[in-house]
Structure 1
Amino acid sequence: MSWWSEETTAVVTGANKGIGFEVVKKLLKLGLTVVLTARNAENGSIAFDSLRRAGFQNVHFFCLDVSDPSSIAAFVSWFRLKVGVLDILVNNAAVSFNAVGENSIREPETIIKTNYYGAKLLTEALLPLFRRSVSVGRILNISSRLGALNKLRNPNLRQTLENEKLTCEQIDATVTQFLEDVSRGTYEKNGWPENWSDYAVSKMALNAYSRVLARRYDGKNLSVNCFCPGFTRTSMTGGQGTHTAEEAAATIAMLVLLPPEKLTSGKFFMCVEEPNKIISRL
C-alpha cells in the first residue's frame, strides 16, 4: 500500500517541459498534489493548462526563477499561504549553454547561480515547511555524473570536497575559486573538470551541498539525495539520448516515493544503461 495521498504535496522546479514536466505528470497520476514551477510564465501556464485539460485537478502553477532570490521569496510566501506544508521537493531546474559535443564556457555565473545557488537557496527557504512530524520529507536534487569528484584533476580541491566535515562555506569558496580561475583563464591548468566545466562544477557543488544537508538532518525525518538521469532526450541534449524524459521521470518518482523504511539519505543515484536500473553511491 502507498504511504502517500492527495494531501501529500510535491514541488518540482523547471517543470514546464522535459524531465520536470514528466515528473509532475507521473506524481499527479499517482494521486499526489503537485506544484509545477517554471521561470517563464507563459511556458509554465501552457504546461499547467495542458495538465488541467488532461483531467488533473491537484496541480498548481507558480512562476519561479530559482536564480532570483526575490522570486524564491515570493514563491515561498505564496506556497505558505496556498498550500502550507511540503512533503517532496525535486530540484530539477538547471541550465547549460553547451550543446552535445561542445566544450566551451559560456555564462558560468548564470550556470552556477541557477544550478547550485538556486537549488540551495530554494531548499533552505522551504526547509521550515516540510512536514516531518508524521512522515519523512524527501529532497531529490537532479544532478549529473559530470559532477562526480573523480572529474577533478586538482587533488587539493578534491580533498576539500571529500572531507566528511565539509561545510557550505567551503563549497561556496570552491565555487568562487572556479569562477575566479575562469575569469583569469587559468581554470584548465588548475585542474577543474575538462568536460562542460561550468556545468560540471555547478553539479559538483550541488552534490556536495546535498551531502552536507543530509548530515545536518540525519535522524530528523528528512531524506536528501541526488539523482543523475543519464543521457536523456531533452532540449538540453538537443533531443539526443538513450532514453526518454518519461522513463527518467518514472525512476525519479520511484525514488521520492520509496516507503519510509527503505529511504536512505546522502546518496547519489544514477541510471546505468537501462533507465529503470539504478545504482547508488555515497
Structure 2
Amino acid sequence: MPKVAVVTGANKGIGFAIVRGLCRRFKGIVYLTARDVERGKQAVSNLEEEGLKPNFYQLDITDPFSVEKFRDYVKDKYGGIDILVNNAAIAFKCDSKESVAVQAEQTLFVNYFSLVATCDILFPILRNGARVVNVSSSAGHLSNIPSEELRNKFKDPNLTIEGLSKLLQKYINDAKKGNQVAEWGLSSYSVSKVGVTALTKIQQKLVDDRDIKVNAVHPGYVDTDMSSHKGPLSIDEGAVAPLFLALDAPETVRGEYVWFDKRIVSWDGKMPGTGIC
C-alpha cells in the first residue's frame, strides 16, 4: 500500500502551498481536500500545470458525514493515513458586522470543535508512525489569554479533550453574555487557536503508544485571504514549518508548538518575538 498524506482546507493559501511541498518531496499519494469542489479541482489543475500530481477529494470538516465518507474511502483504497495536516480554519475580519456572540460560536465551531470531530474520525486510520500537524497561530500562544486562572486550566497536565471542550464552550457562553473580554480577551480566533495548541498536547499523550507525532505550528504572518494579504511571508514560506513537521522533524519532536522558523516555542511561557512584524 502506498503512503498517504492529507491536507484539509487546501484549495488556497498555506494549505495549497503545503500540498505543493508534499507533492515535490513526499514519496506517496497526496490529497488536496477542500469544501468547495470547483475551487478544489482548480487548485489541483494549477498544481498539475507545475508538473505535480495531487489528488482531490471533497471534504467539509464541519460535516461528520463528509469526514466519515472520506475516512472510509481512504481506508478501503489505501488502508490508512501517514501524514495529516489539519489546516482548515476561518477568521472573521476586524470590521465584521457579525456580533461577538456569532463570531465566537462560528469560529470555535470550525477551528476547534470541527477539528476535534475530524480527528476523532480520522485518527483510528492513522498508521503507526504517522505525523499530524495542527495549524495553529501566534494567536494560539497561551499568553493571549488574560486570565491566569484560565491559563492554569489550559496548561493543566491532567486536562482531557472533554475538559478542554467544556472550557471552550464556556468562552462561547461568556461571549453570548458579553462578559468575555476581561478573562478571554478580544479575539475569538485567538481563543480557538489556543484551543488547537492545547488539543495538540493532549492528543500527543493519547497516541504516544502508536509512535504518532502530533505537533502544532504557527506558520507565520502570511500573505493570504485570511490575513487580508497583509502578511509579509509568501504562502510557500508559510508552508516551511508545517512541511518540516510533516517530513523532517526529529522523532523526538512530539506535542510541541513550533513557529515558522522551526523554533520549538514554550507555549505557556513568554510570547517570543516573531522577527517579522
TM-score by length of 2: 0.89
Alpha-carbon shift at residue 101 of structure 1 (Å): 11
Structure 1 counterpart of 2:176, one-letter code: S
Which residue of the partner structure matches residue 204 of structure 1?
194
Asked if 1:158 corresponds to 2:151, the answer is yes
Q: Is the 8 A contact 1:99 1:236 kept in 2?
A: no
**Aligned-pair RMSD on alpha carbons?**
2.2
SS at match of 1:233: coil
Distance 1:100 1:23, change over 3 A: farther
Which residue of the partner structure matches residue 265 of structure 1?
254
Q: 47, 51, 54: which one pairs with 1:55?
A: 51
Distance 1:280 1:219, change over 3 A: farther
Alpha-carbon shift at residue 228 of structure 1 (Å): 0.3
**Percent identity for Structure 1 against Structure 2:** 32
SS at match of 1:131: strand
Q: 77, 84, 106: which one pairs with 1:82?
A: 77
Alpha-carbon shift at residue 139 of structure 1 (Å): 0.5
Asked if 1:228 corresponds to 2:218, the answer is yes
What is the CA–CA distance in structure 2 between the aligned matches of 1:198 and 1:109, rounded to whole Å? 8
Q: Is the 8 A contact 2:32 2:44 kept in 1?
A: yes
Asked if 1:193 corresponds to 2:178, the answer is no
SS at match of 1:265: coil
Q: Is the 8 A contact 2:217 2:258 kept in 1?
A: yes
Q: Is the 8 A contact 2:215 2:245 kept in 1?
A: no
What is the CA–CA distance in structure 2 between the aligned matches of 1:96 and 1:238, rounded to whole Å? 10
Alpha-carbon shift at residue 94 of structure 1 (Å): 0.5
What is the CA–CA distance in structure 1 between the aligned matches of 2:95 and 2:140, rounded to whole Å? 16
Question: How many residues are aligned here?
Answer: 265
Alpha-carbon shift at residue 102 of structure 1 (Å): 11
What is the CA–CA distance in structure 2 between the aligned matches of 1:239 and 1:255, rounded to whole Å? 25
Which residue of the partner structure matches residue 23 of structure 2?
28
Alpha-carbon shift at residue 104 of structure 1 (Å): 7.5
Which residue of the partner structure matches residue 227 of structure 2?
237
Q: Is the 8 A contact 1:139 1:223 kept in 2?
A: yes
Q: Is the 8 A contact 1:28 1:34 kept in 2?
A: yes
Structure 2 counterpart of 1:250, one-letter code: V
Q: Is the 8 A contact 1:142 1:226 kept in 2?
A: yes
What is the CA–CA distance in structure 2 between the aligned matches of 1:123 and 1:68, rounded to whole Å? 13
Q: Is the 8 A contact 1:98 1:104 kept in 2?
A: no
What is the CA–CA distance in structure 2 between the aligned matches of 1:160 and 1:103, rounded to whole Å? 29
Q: Is the 8 A contact 1:225 1:265 kept in 2?
A: yes
Which residue of the partner structure matches residue 140 of structure 2?
147
Which residue of the partner structure matches residue 280 of structure 1?
265
TM-score by length of 1: 0.87
Distance 1:42 1:103, change over 3 A: closer
